[in-house]
Amino acid sequence: MTESGSLDAAGQAGTARYDVLVVGAGIVGLGVAYAAHRRGLRVLVCERASEVVGASVRNFGHLCFTPQSGRAYEFAQRSRELWRELAREADFWLQETGTWVVARTDEEFAVLREFARVRGPREVHTHTVASIESKVPVAEAVGGVLLPLDCQVNPREAASAVRAYLQRCGVEFRFRTAVGAVASGVAHTSRGDIRADQIVLATNHDIDLLMPDLAQQHGVLRCGLDMMRVTMGLRAPLTAPLLTGWSLLRYSGFADMAATVDLRARLHSEFPELAQLDLNEMYTQLPDGSVIVGDTHYRGESVASFQREIAFDSLLSLARERFDVTDVRVLERWQGMYASAANEFLQDIRPDTGIHVAVVTTGIGMSCGLGFAEHTVARIFADSTWAGASPVLREAAAVTTSRHPDHELTGSVQ
Ligand SMILES: Cc1cc2nc3c(=O)[nH]c(=O)nc-3n(C[C@H](O)[C@H](O)[C@H](O)COP(=O)(O)OP(=O)(O)OC[C@H]3O[C@@H](n4cnc5c(N)ncnc54)[C@H](O)[C@@H]3O)c2cc1C
């Protein structure tokens, strides 16, 4: 067998046949590889870059398990177990301090109180303004909640640590190897053909290149995001990821609340320029003390290569206001990208061809991707023992796609 990334004597990518070939070494591809490896299968991951470089390193590292709904909630709950297990086994930093969601207005607090009532004290702890001010370095809060089950990882390390762990377990990786096309049992790569019984495409937004018709059929677009990492003189450390304001409109768990209607109307009428940037106001502090600040969203079949300074200006001015600081210094700016569609997941299982697609089509892949990936593998092998809690998704894993096409699984399963 060839070494990772090298050619064999015939100039081919090796003559071995794999049980599962995973295309893409982001968190979803790694999750598929992990689940397949745990079934005792021979697994190869093919990645066109030289390391894990995609959305899985460009994000906040926020494992936002709680404010999801429907399938996303189920995948998030299973992802939580998998992240904790992997952090132990692969030995990377995972912080179990939850998420702070701070309300700056009565409308925001109304959404959070409703959410607390619906979810109960296991998932949501309500805090008064005095309590928030003593625990979170924000200014002008009117109250807030802690979502204690949420977690945080360092996105620059976590996926790479999972990759290294899987390599130690015997999963093979071939970097700098781009897959150009797939057919039943074979992937045509930039280093020759690779043969596998099952091929899973976990390519994020690049699914529109490998499977353009499928992507079009599911309305998959690309979503670009502006992000930055800053230092600022916070009056106390940010002990957990912080969501506020616009974030309450984004996560489906909050967005489902009746009180969100008023909040949406007010934010859109009061701040039309921020609404245009499709903002998610969010902050995570890394172990070195720097803070990831984001983000904005813009969608299309392709997204602009050039990031607009107005987006960064807006994010910085919100950060100054939120933490009541003036000394914000930008260390890095970057553009992230993910697949975006009306449904949150594109899971296309094709037992007839052995070519399957696993793409998270919204910005929650760090929170839901591992559970989603494991469920994808369970469906490929028609296995009803999927470890997630949802009976609907377990049953879905056990039956053929003709009875359960993807669109039948999009409703709430809670
Ligand atoms: C700025 C930003 C912030 C985010 N914040 C969060 C967050 O805090 N919490 C959260 O839950 N989610 C967050 N997300 C979403 C989350 O990061 C993504 O949903 C998740 O990382 C997607 O994982 P993936 O494996 O599908 O994609 P990726 O990590 O992008 O991996 C796909 C891989 O496939 C490879 N590839 C593509 N085509 C080919 C090919 N033809 N041949 C070989 N390899 C190929 C690519 O090179 C890439 O490495 C954020 C996303 C962004 C962009």
Does residue 337 have its Cβ closer than 6 Å to ligand 1? Answer: yes
Per-residue model confidence (pLDDT) at position 396: 75
Closest protein CA for atom 31 of ligand 1:
26
Per-residue model confidence (pLDDT) at position 391: 76
CA 147 – ligand 1 centroid, Å = 24
Does residue 367 have its Cβ closer than 6 Å to ligand 1? Answer: yes
**Domains within the chain, CATH numbers bracketed:** 17-58+156-218+346-409 (3.50.50.60), 99-148+221-340 (3.30.9.10)
Tell me: the pLDDT tens digits for 65-89? 999 999 999 999 999 999 999 999 9
Per-residue model confidence (pLDDT) at position 403: 40
Tell me: the pLDDT tens digits for 314-372? 999 999 999 999 999 999 999 999 999 999 999 999 999 999 999 999 999 999 999 99
For ligand 1, what atom is nearest to the CA of residue 368?
11
- Residue 412, pLDDT > 60, answer no
In terms of pLDDT, which residue wins out, 206 or 413?
206
CA 395 – ligand 1 centroid, Å = 28
CA distance 165 to 159: 10
Does residue 28 have its Cβ closer than 6 Å to ligand 1? Answer: yes
Residue 376's nearest CA partner among 401, 402, 347, 343 is 347
Tell me: the pLDDT tens digits for 113-167? 999 999 999 999 999 999 999 999 999 899 999 999 999 999 999 999 999 999 9
Residue 69's nearest CA partner among 247, 202, 251 is 251
Does residue 179 have its Cβ closer than 6 Å to ligand 1? Answer: yes
Does residue 297 have its Cβ closer than 6 Å to ligand 1? Answer: no
Per-residue model confidence (pLDDT) at position 398: 67
Per-residue model confidence (pLDDT) at position 409: 42
DSSP string, 182-209: EETTEEEEBTEEEEEEEEEE--GGGHHH
- Residue 392, pLDDT > 80, answer no
Does residue 153 have its Cβ closer than 6 Å to ligand 1? Answer: no
Token duo for residue 103: 């309300």
Residue 158's nearest CA partner among 214, 223, 266, 84 is 84
CA distance 108 to 332: 30
Per-residue model confidence (pLDDT) at position 16: 85
Instruction: Choose one of 4, 21, 47 to mutate for the ligand 1 pocket test, by most ligand atoms within 8 angstroms of C-beta.
Output: 47
CA 176 – ligand 1 centroid, Å = 17
Does residue 360 have its Cβ closer than 6 Å to ligand 1? Answer: yes
Per-residue model confidence (pLDDT) at position 338: 98
For ligand 1, what atom is nearest to the CA of residue 27?
25
Q: What pLDDT band is residue 293 in, cutting at 50, 70 and 90?
A: very high
Per-residue model confidence (pLDDT) at position 74: 96
CA 54 – ligand 1 centroid, Å = 5
Closest protein CA for atom 35 of ligand 1:
24
Tell me: the pLDDT tens digits for 102-112? 999 999 999 99
CA atoms within 13 A on the CB side of 364: 31
CA 293 – ligand 1 centroid, Å = 18
Q: What pLDDT band is residue 13 in, cutting at 50, 70 and 90?
A: low
Q: Per-residue pLDDT averaged across 264-292, rounded?
A: 94
Does residue 56 have its Cβ closer than 6 Å to ligand 1? Answer: yes
ipTM: 0.99
CA 26 – ligand 1 centroid, Å = 5
Q: What pLDDT band is residue 7 in, cutting at 50, 70 and 90?
A: very low
User: b/e for 312-321, b at 16 or more Cβ within 10 A?
Assistant: bebbbebbee
Unique residue bearing structure tokens 């599962």: 20
Return mean pLDDT, the chain.
92
- Share of residues in the chain with pLDDT > 90 (%): 86
Which residues are paired to 319 by β-bridges? none
Tell me: the pLDDT tens digits for 124-138? 999 999 999 999 999
CA 299 – ligand 1 centroid, Å = 15
Instruction: Choose one of 22, 206, 283, 315 to mutate for the ligand 1 pocket test, by most ligand atoms within 8 angstroms of C-beta.
Output: 206
Measured from the Cβ of residue 305, the count of other Cβ atoms closer than 10 Å reads 7
- Residue 173, pLDDT > 70, answer yes
DSSP string, 299-342: EESS--SS--HHHHHHHHHHHHHHHT-S--EEEEEEEEEEEE-S
Instruction: Choose one of 32, 50, 366 to mutate for the ligand 1 pocket test, by most ligand atoms within 8 angstroms of C-beta.
Output: 366
Unique residue bearing structure tokens 């689940």: 35
- Write the CB contacts of 34 (distance below 8 Å, at least 6 apart in sequence): 82, 86, 162, 166, 171, 370, 373, 374
